[in-house]
């Protein structure tokens, strides 16, 4: 069976480059599962959990925004931030959520910024709860 | 003995300087490795992004975005100069500043409203010396510029560009081409030029189109263009940091070698002076003894 090659890059470094037989990634409006042989795709990523099913068991990462390109069984994710799911702490995520909720928003742009921060914090919290340290 | 002692003292002080330059060379070699890795991975990111933009434009969609368009009557511009905080890095800052002063003059005649922003203490001091006062200075970028620090800058520029106060952004920095080649260049970051975006790959991948877009090609383009600007800016900072380390490495290596040469030379002169003194003293003793014999 052919495998997928999953590459995650952030502007600071290449976080991940490995084989997997299934990849689930968070798009802007929900999760997308990619299996080998998927047709080419370019999509916008949201904040959430990237899940890889590899030979060595599942691996989980938290990613934040960016883009994904699927071509010839290669899944490249360009994202601003990518960390292993296990390294997110629940208390920190809760704090971030409270801080994001407490932000003042007086103009549409500020509202957009706040909503984005809240979304990110929620996604972090969700992943932190699901993957305790 | 006076002269020989003075020579010995000089030799000692040069040995001490040699120790310092040698250490600085080693330090910048280590920092350089790290900086280089970062620059390379940012390069990989930028390449992927350019590939994506190329694929997008091949899908029959003309890339149209405010950031890509030349303004008909440009008035406001900004010149960003990246230099280092510390000296002792050879011609690194000199090259950047020479080009920056030149660009500053050229842009001044083109734009009514020109702002100068300088990163690095050396650049600020150097430009002030040339009689050019920067409008804004940054000194918090060290040898490892962080993405979120650069992001703040990028956001400011994007906002100013969107609001219409800024029609062009130029950056003067040292581009890292290879280990033996870094050159001061000036590039236009905003508006993003159409020429250098992923045209190289056009032919290789031409056969593979028919992408599925989620949500739509337009909205992806709307997000990807500002992102590619941010990444380019970040890449410039990383390049400048790598070039600085390389420049310092070479300068310190040359200084260490120089010190070695001077030490060798001084040692020789010192030995000769010592010998000369001994000979002198011997001669005095002998001639004194002979004088008594007569």
Q: Is B234 close to A11, i.e. CB distance below 8 A?
A: yes
Q: Which domain holds residue A101?
A: 88-130
Are residues B176 and B85 in contact, defined by beta-carbon separation less than 8 angstroms?
A: no
Average pLDDT over residues B120-125: 92
Considering the domain architecture, whether residues A64 and A107 belong to the same structural domain is answered as no
List B137's β-bridge partners, or say none. B118
Considering the domain architecture, whether residues A17 and A79 belong to the same structural domain is answered as yes
Three-state secondary structure of B248-265: HHHHHHHHHHHHHHHHHH
Is the alpha carbon torsion for B107, B109, B113, B114 positive or negative?
positive
Backbone angles phi, psi at B163, to 5 degrees: -75, -15
B180 token code pair: 């033996």
pLDDT tens digit string along B137-161? 998 888 788 888 888 899 889 888 8
Those residues whose C-beta lies under 8 Å from the C-beta of residue B99, and which sit 6 or more positions away, are B172, B184, B185, B186
Distance CA(A53)–CA(B242), nearest Å, equals 37
Considering the domain architecture, whether residues A14 and A78 belong to the same structural domain is answered as yes
Considering the domain architecture, whether residues A57 and A120 belong to the same structural domain is answered as no
List B114's β-bridge partners, or say none. B77
CATH for A81: 2.60.15.10
Angstroms from B26 CA to nearest CA on chain A: 24
B52 touches chain A (CB under 8 A): yes
Mean pLDDT (chain B) is 85
B208 touches chain A (CB under 8 A): yes
Nearest to A11 among B45, B210, B220 (CB): B45
Nearest to B231 among A11, A14, A69 (CB): A11
pLDDT of residue B202: 41
pLDDT of residue A1: 58
pLDDT of residue B200: 40
- Global pTM value: 0.82
B49 touches chain A (CB under 8 A): yes
Closest CA relative to residue B241, chosen from B171, B145, B150, B146: B145
B132 token code pair: 């050019």
Q: Which helix (H) or strand (E) segment is B43 a member of?
A: helix B2-58
Question: What separation in angstroms does the CA of B107 have from each of A8, B130, B131, B208?
Answer: 40, 16, 16, 43
Considering the domain architecture, whether residues A64 and A96 belong to the same structural domain is answered as no
Cβ-Cβ contacts under 8 Å, A66 against chain B? 227
Q: What is the pLDDT confidence band of residue A133, given thresholds at 50, 70 and 90?
A: low
B289 token code pair: 């003894």
Q: What is the pLDDT confidence band of residue B198, given thresholds at 50, 70 and 90?
A: very low
**How many percent of chain B have pLDDT more than 90?**
44
Q: Is A78 close to B49, i.e. CB distance below 8 A?
A: yes
Backbone angles phi, psi at B179, to 5 degrees: -60, -30
Angstroms from A74 CA to nearest CA on chain B: 12
Considering the domain architecture, whether residues A76 and A108 belong to the same structural domain is answered as no
Q: What end-to-end distance do the CA atoms of chain B give, in Å? A: 30
B119 token code pair: 């990163």
Beta-carbon pairs below 8 A across chains A and B: 76
B65 token code pair: 């975005």
Distance CA(B31)–CA(B38), nearest Å, equals 11
Nearest to B44 among A9, A40, A42 (CB): A9
Does the pLDDT value for residue B58 go beyond 80?
A: no
Considering the domain architecture, whether residues A50 and A30 belong to the same structural domain is answered as yes
Q: Is B278 exposed, middle or buried (0-12, 13-18, 19+ CB in 10 A)?
A: exposed
B contact test, residue of A5, A8, A11 with most B CBs within 10 A: A11
Q: Provide the 8-state DSSP code for A72.
A: T
SS3 A78: strand
Cβ-Cβ contacts under 8 Å, B45 against chain A? 9-11, 78
Considering the domain architecture, whether residues A63 and A98 belong to the same structural domain is answered as no
Nearest to B38 among A13, A43, A44 (CB): A13
A71 touches chain B (CB under 8 A): yes
Average pLDDT over residues A55-59: 86
Distance CA(B182)–CA(B236), nearest Å, equals 13
Q: Provide the 8-state DSSP code for A33.
A: E
Distance CA(B99)–CA(B104), nearest Å, equals 8
Considering the domain architecture, whether residues A55 and A78 belong to the same structural domain is answered as yes
Q: What end-to-end distance do the CA atoms of chain A give, in Å? A: 34
pLDDT of residue B63: 61
Q: Is B49 close to A27, i.e. CB distance below 8 A?
A: no
Considering the domain architecture, whether residues A24 and A69 belong to the same structural domain is answered as yes
Nearest to B220 among A12, A42, A71 (CB): A42
Considering the domain architecture, whether residues A105 and A75 belong to the same structural domain is answered as no
Considering the domain architecture, whether residues A69 and A40 belong to the same structural domain is answered as yes
Cβ-Cβ contacts under 8 Å, A113 against chain B? none
Q: Is B197 exposed, middle or buried (0-12, 13-18, 19+ CB in 10 A)?
A: middle
Domain count, chain A: 2
Question: ipTM more than 0.85?
Answer: no
Closest CA relative to residue B13, chosen from B274, B266, B268, B273: B266
């Amino acid at each position: 069976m052919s495998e997928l090659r999953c590459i995650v890059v952030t502007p600071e470094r290449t976080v991940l480059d490995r084989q997997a037989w299934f990849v689930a990634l968070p798009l802007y409006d929900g999760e997308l599962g990619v299996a080998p042989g998927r047709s080419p795709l370019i999509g916008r990523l949201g904040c959430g959990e990237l899940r890889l099913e590899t030979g060595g068991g599942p691996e989980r990462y938290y990613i934040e925004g960016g883009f994904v390109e699927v071509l010839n069984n290669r899944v490249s994710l360009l994202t601003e931030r990518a960390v292993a799911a296990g390294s997110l702490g629940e208390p920190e995520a809760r704090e971030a959520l409270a801080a994001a909720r407490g932000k003042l928003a007086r103009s549409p742009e500020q509202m957009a910024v706040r909503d984005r921060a809240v979304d990110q914090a929620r996604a972090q919290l969700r992943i932190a709860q699901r993957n305790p340290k | 003995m006076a002269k020989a002692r003075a020579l010995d003292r000089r030799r000692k002080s040069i040995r001490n300087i040699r120790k310092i330059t040698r250490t600085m060379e080693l330090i910048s070699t280590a920092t350089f490795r790290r900086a280089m890795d970062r620059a390379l991975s940012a390069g990989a990111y930028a390449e992927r992004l350019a590939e994506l933009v190329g694929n997008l434009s091949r899908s029959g969609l003309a890339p149209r975005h405010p950031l890509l368009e030349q303004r008909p009557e440009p008035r406001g511009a900004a010149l960003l100069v990246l230099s280092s905080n510390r000296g002792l890095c050879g011609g690194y800052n000199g090259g950047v500043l020479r080009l920056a002063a030149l660009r500053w003059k050229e842009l001044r005649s083109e734009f009514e409203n020109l702002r100068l922003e300088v990163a690095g203490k050396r650049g600020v001091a150097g430009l002030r010396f040339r009689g050019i006062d920067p409008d804004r200075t940054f000194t918090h970028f060290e040898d490892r510029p962080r993405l979120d620090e650069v992001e703040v800058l990028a956001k400011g520029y994007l906002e100013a560009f969107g609001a219409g106060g800024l029609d062009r952004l130029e950056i003067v920095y040292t581009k890292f081409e290879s280990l033996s080649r870094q050159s001061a260049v000036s590039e236009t970051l905003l508006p993003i030029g159409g020429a250098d975006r992923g045209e190289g790959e056009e032919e290789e991948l031409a056969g593979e189109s028919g992408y599925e877009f989620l949500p739509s090609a337009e909205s992806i383009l709307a997000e990807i263009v500002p992102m590619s600007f941010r990444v380019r800016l970040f890449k410039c900072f990383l390049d400048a940091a790598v070039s600085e380390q390389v420049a310092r490495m070479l300068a310190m290596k040359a200084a260490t070698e120089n010190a070695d040469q001077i030490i060798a030379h001084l040692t020789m002169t010192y030995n000769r002076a010592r010998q000369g003194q001994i000979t002198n003293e011997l001669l005095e003793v002998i001639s004194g003894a002979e004088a008594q014999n007569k």
